[in-house]
Amino acid sequence: MAYLQSNIPHFKCWVRREYTHNHEAYHGEFLHAMAVAVTTMPNRCLSFQVIFTGIAPEGEEEDTVHGGAMWARMPITALVGDVPLEEWPEPMDVHNAQPWDCSSNHHAVYVLDRATPCPWLAKIDGNMYPANYLFTVDYTESEIADDPAQHKQSHVMCLLDAGEWTGNIVALPNNRVRVTHPAWFETGEGAPDFKPSAHTHYSKSNLDYTLDTNRIFDNLYNE
């Protein structure tokens, strides 16, 4: 199980430049980069290790300074996907980009392969937007992360056709997303009739079974 930082399926992005200058300058400017790793810290949003490429936005002078420079723990709200954009997206509040903070330093990063071919639907501020799924971060080894009723994954996505937020990178839990794939299933509408489980399931939860050694040791070597 990884601690603090993990490699990710890297993706090209634009970084809001004010994040590289303590939010004191360069608002509305962007630097091109590759996001190559993710960091999880409790009670903070996801952050990323980025490598700047030196690629300049279309129509701007070539960036001969930043190529190869790195930045650690760049917050998710600083990132914009490298997708075709008519204009730069508006910044998002953290509670919209990632409604639940990271719940542990201990985490896993993986791609849900069978859920990747088609756009997902992301519910943000009451509206559903299509999004391109990138990867998932899951957490463990903390009270919240291992509580069945509180556990949340972070599905990292790039918003598509989301109005002023188109292109922003977000991280949403299961109860804020839907997977689409018309060849496999029809995507539902409305609120699923779900209730979070508060139960922990394990083999020794049945006291009668636990106290019956004949049943516990009823294996191939028991006649």
Q: Has residue 37 got a pLDDT over 80?
A: yes
Tens digits of per-residue pLDDT, 152-185?
Answer: 999 999 999 999 999 999 999 999 999 999 888 8
Q: Which pLDDT does position 8 carry in this prediction?
A: 98
The rounded distance, in Å, linking the Cα atoms of 51 and 179 is 30
Both tokens of residue 176? 């804020």
Tens digits of per-residue pLDDT, 106-127?
Answer: 999 999 999 988 999 999 999 9
Tens digits of per-residue pLDDT, 133-156?
Answer: 999 999 999 999 999 999 999 999
The rounded distance, in Å, linking the Cα atoms of 171 and 192 is 21
Please state the separation of Cα 123 from the chain's center in Å. Answer: 14
Q: Which pLDDT does position 191 carry in this prediction?
A: 87
pTM tops 0.85:
yes
Q: Which long-range contacts (CB under 8 A, 24 or more apart) does 197-202 make?
A: 197/148, 197/149, 198/148, 198/149, 199/148, 200/148
